[in-house]
Amino acid sequence: MADTYEYATRPGKPGLSVIAFTGLGALAALLWQLVPGYVILLLIPALAICLWQLTRVPTYGIKMSDQSWHILGGYDDLEVPISRISHLQIRERGTLQRISVMIDDGTEIQLPIDNLPDHAGLKREAEQRGIPVRHAA
């Protein structure tokens, strides 16, 4: 068992976003010579919003250590001590699987469904850390 298991992902395609930002910047530079007022009014705010979106992309995933689980839920990160985790619950509904971390006080923390590692690996890592895995229908 590794000391720390980590899986993190970011939605979207950063290469495509960088190309769009570069194209918008080139368009702003070209139009600056013709109509600087248009560039100041429309393209500079669009460039600022595009840059903000590039830097503020949320990270989803999970990081398991021997002391705690750090659940990356976009902008809402949560750290749960391993002593408070009751079990990992896997619900199967057709082809869709919902995975939740159940806390000892009955609280359920749903893991982001689109941004999880393969379920077999997640189940194996949880069991190696002494967390029981339960399947529910």
For residue 117, the surrounding DSSP H or E stretch is: none
The pLDDT of residue 84 is 92
Residue 96 lies in a domain: yes
82 beta partners: none
Residue 8 lies in a domain: no
Question: Closest Cα partner for 57 from 125, 115, 102?
Answer: 115
Residue 103 lies in a domain: yes
| Cα gap 46→25, rounded to integer Å | 10
CATH assignment of the domain containing 119: 3.30.720.210
Q: Would you give per-residue pLDDT tens digits along the chain (137 residues)?
A: 558 888 888 877 778 888 888 998 898 899 889 998 888 888 888 888 888 888 888 888 889 888 888 988 877 888 999 889 999 998 887 777 788 889 999 888 888 777 778 888 888 888 888 889 988 76
Residue 111 lies in a domain: yes
Residue 100 lies in a domain: yes
Residue 104 lies in a domain: yes
> Is-contact 110 103, C-beta < 8 A?
no
Residue 95 lies in a domain: yes
Number of domains in the chain: 1
Residue 130 lies in a domain: yes
Q: State the pTM of this model.
A: 0.68
Residue 117's domain spans which residues? 80-136
